[in-house]
């Protein structure tokens, strides 16, 4: 079976820390696979807020998540604090990817890497729209 591969960018533009709480732990006594997605979402929200944007208003538009993937590298444990780094990559006319590196804050060990594909979206018109110029200029290669 082919495995998902997520290539990391040369640099990340934002980072935040999120602790592993007891409700993030599964029966195997490690970070549950399904806890990473809400942590990615929290990181994305913090990143966008740092730029002065909200989910509902990114230069007059919003966006929708089209796909997500996670590649696990190590087990996470209760009590660890994870460092989530994020970078917008792979711009198209109407979207991009948010790529994440997730590591142990104290040791630097990589726990996982992930990505979230997004399309910019106008909820009033219910249609996909172009990436806002200001957003593209900030991050596109």
Q: What is the rounded CA–CA span in Å between residue 130 and residue 22?
A: 41
Instruction: Render pLDDT for 34-72 as a digit per residue (tens, 0 to 9).
Output: 999 999 999 999 999 999 998 788 888 999 999 999 999
- DSSP letter assigned to residue 14: E
Burial letters for 54-68: b for 16+ Cβ neighbours within 10 Å, e otherwise? Answer: eeeebeebbbebeeb
Mean pLDDT value across residues 88-102: 97
Domains of the chain plus CATH, in order, are 14-139 (3.10.129.10)
Q: What is the pLDDT of residue 141?
A: 57
Total-model pTM? 0.93
32: Cα separation from own chain's centroid: 17
């Amino acid at each position: 079976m082919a495995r998902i591969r997520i290539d990391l960018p040369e640099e990340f533009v934002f980072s935040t820390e999120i602790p592993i709480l007891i409700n993030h732990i599964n029966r195997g006594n490690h970070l549950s696979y399904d806890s990473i997605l809400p942590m990615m979402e929290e990181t994305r929200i913090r990143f966008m807020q740092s730029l002065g944007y909200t989910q509902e208003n990114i230069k007059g538009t919003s966006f929708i998540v089209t796909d997500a993937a996670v590649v696990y590298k190590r087990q996470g444990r209760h009590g660890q604090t994870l460092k989530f780094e994020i970078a917008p990559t792979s711009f198209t006319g109407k979207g991009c990817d948010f790529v994440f590196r997730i590591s142990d804050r104290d040791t630097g060990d990589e726990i996982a890497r992930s990505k979230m594909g997004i399309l910019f979206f106008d909820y009033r018109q219910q249609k996909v729209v172009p990436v806002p110029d200001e957003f593209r200029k900030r991050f596109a290669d």
